[in-house]
Amino acid sequence: MDIIMYDVLILGSGPAGLTAALYCARGGKKTLVLGGTTLGGQMAGIAKLENYPGFMGSGIELAEFMKKQAESFGAEIKFVSATNISGDAEGGFSILCDDGNRYVGRAVIIGTGASPRKLEIAGARELMGKGVSYCATCDGFFYYGKDVIVIGGGNSALNDALYLADIAASVKIVYRRDAFTRAEAILRNRVSERENIQCLFNTEMAKIEKTDDDKLKATTTDGAELLVDGVFVAIGHEANTDFLNEDVVRDNMGRLAPQNMPTGIYVAGDVHSELKMQIATAVGTGCSAAMDAIAYLNAKN
């Protein structure tokens, strides 16, 4: 097992982690990003990014640019995932990863982001990848000219519905409340203008079953049955913090409060408690965490 020492270890290669990497590297710190399995995190799944200032393109394009920019100042990026963190500020923090190596850093920035919350109804887990999906941009092309459902009512759900409306014959948005109060007005307006999108308010799903002709029968709590080809779920997120010890304080979404973290460990992006889950806020907290880490390391020298 190799043990490699760094000034700063950054967990996550989404906008928070890549921003932190840029700042730490420019601050003269030996910086390593442990980027998980996918560059860009959730940002990579955004087909058309419209609300990040100064950029119009896909999420993966922005992620690739951020990566190259951080690397140009000396940051290293490895696509491995942390499985355990141990140590303390004085002796450095040791991170064991799924590549079998242990990396040691004098400071750590956790920017591991969040993953889609799973739909907990009968059939949802069993049919995941067999008609039930949590990524419209990943799986939407399978449903060209077909009928699909999107479950949820926030920005993610409406963006998914609009993306699928360009591919599928019809899209039904199923939402448990009576209006899309959590979604941006521009998305609500676009949804209302699409002839092949239908909104089913005050509706909740009870179960999903496979039919003999390879379709899905989605049954609502009031007994209504919807026969479709695919179901896309967008009902929120949970922080990717399972690798941390059980004694680390988390909120009900698994997120971390900066004030509860040990000295020398900082949090950024969607894993940050009480943060609006946007690329702009992820970038902002990535910058702030990096500057705090740099100040902490400079004070120790």
Per-residue pLDDT tens digits for 228-273: 999 999 998 899 999 998 888 898 889 999 999 999 999 999 999 9
CA torsion angle 107 249 271 180 (round to 10):
-170
* Percentage of the residues of the chain whose pLDDT score is greater than 70: 99
CATH number, domain with residue 195: 3.50.50.60
Return the ∠ at Cα 77 (arms to 75 and 79), rounded to 5°: 170
Does residue 124 sit in the same domain as residue 228? yes
Does residue 123 sit in the same domain as residue 224? yes
Question: What are the CA-CA distances from residue 251 to residues 120, 191, 266 (Å)?
Answer: 20, 33, 16
Does residue 127 sit in the same domain as residue 171? yes
Say if CB 225 and CB 219 are below 8 A apart.
yes
Which of 233, 261, 280 is the last residue in one of the domains?
233
Does residue 156 sit in the same domain as residue 125? yes
Q: What pLDDT score was predicted for residue 143?
A: 96
Model pTM? 0.83
Q: What pLDDT score was predicted for residue 1?
A: 59
Does residue 66 sit in the same domain as residue 140? no
Which of 233, 256, 288 is the last residue in one of the domains?
233
Does residue 126 sit in the same domain as residue 219? yes
Does residue 107 sit in the same domain as residue 130? no
Does residue 268 sit in the same domain as residue 283? yes
Does residue 81 sit in the same domain as residue 228? no
Does residue 20 sit in the same domain as residue 86? yes
Say if CB 285 and CB 268 are below 8 A apart.
yes
Q: What pLDDT score was predicted for residue 103?
A: 93
Per-residue pLDDT tens digits for 189-222: 999 999 999 999 999 999 999 999 999 999 999 9
Q: What pLDDT score was predicted for residue 290?
A: 98
Q: What pLDDT score was predicted for residue 89?
A: 60
Per-residue pLDDT tens digits for 95-146: 999 998 999 999 999 999 999 899 999 999 999 999 999 999 889 999 999 9
Task: Show the domain range for 97.
Answer: 3-115+237-300
Which residues are tagged catalytic? 135, 138-139
Alpha-carbon span 41 to 21, nearest angstrom? 15
Backbone angles phi, psi at 254, to 5 degrees: 80, 10
| Total tally of structural domains belonging to the chain | 2
